[in-house]
Amino acid sequence: MSIRPSGIILFSTELNLWVLAFTLGLENICPGIGTSLWLDFDAITMVLNVQTSAIGAFKDTRTNTADVDEQAESAAQKCVMHFGPNHNLALAIAFRNQVMPDAPAAIKLVDSLRKYRATAHKGTWNTRS
């Protein structure tokens, strides 16, 4: 039985990829939120460093806390930056041509090897060991 190209195209158009971006502050308040979202909703989570304060335009103004809307917009923009024109996660080439496929450590699916082992196929886990 062979796979027809239309079946592959149909699969790729029906596949929905959920990417959720949130700040380091939320990760500190609710540790393990990324793992819970991945396990419960099958969503890829990105923990991003988002600026939480806004600097005033004049010297006499103090630093103001950025609104939640501004922080969410910044996280969304940073999340979109990690994707290429075909909506694939862009590879980052780091120092000494090291390939960083996880958006330079922003994507965190699990927070422990024990949780990863529970979700991985036995063959996948054995190749990792």
pLDDT in tens, the chain (129 residues): 444 444 444 444 556 778 888 888 888 888 888 888 888 888 888 888 887 776 655 555 566 677 878 888 888 888 888 877 777 777 778 788 887 776 777 888 888 888 888 888 888 888 865
User: Domains in the chain: how many in total?
Assistant: 1
Give a yes or no: residue 128 inside a domain.
Answer: no
Give a yes or no: residue 34 inside a domain.
Answer: yes
Give a yes or no: residue 111 inside a domain.
Answer: yes
Could you tell me the residue range of the domain that residue 16 belongs to? 5-122
Percent of all residues in the chain with a pLDDT value above 90, rounded to a whole number = 0
Give a yes or no: residue 79 inside a domain.
Answer: yes
Give a yes or no: residue 129 inside a domain.
Answer: no
For residue range 45-82, what is the model confidence (pLDDT) as tens digits? Answer: 888 888 777 665 555 556 667 787 888 888 888 888 88
Give a yes or no: residue 91 inside a domain.
Answer: yes
First CA to last CA across the chain, in angstroms?
A: 34
Give a yes or no: residue 15 inside a domain.
Answer: yes
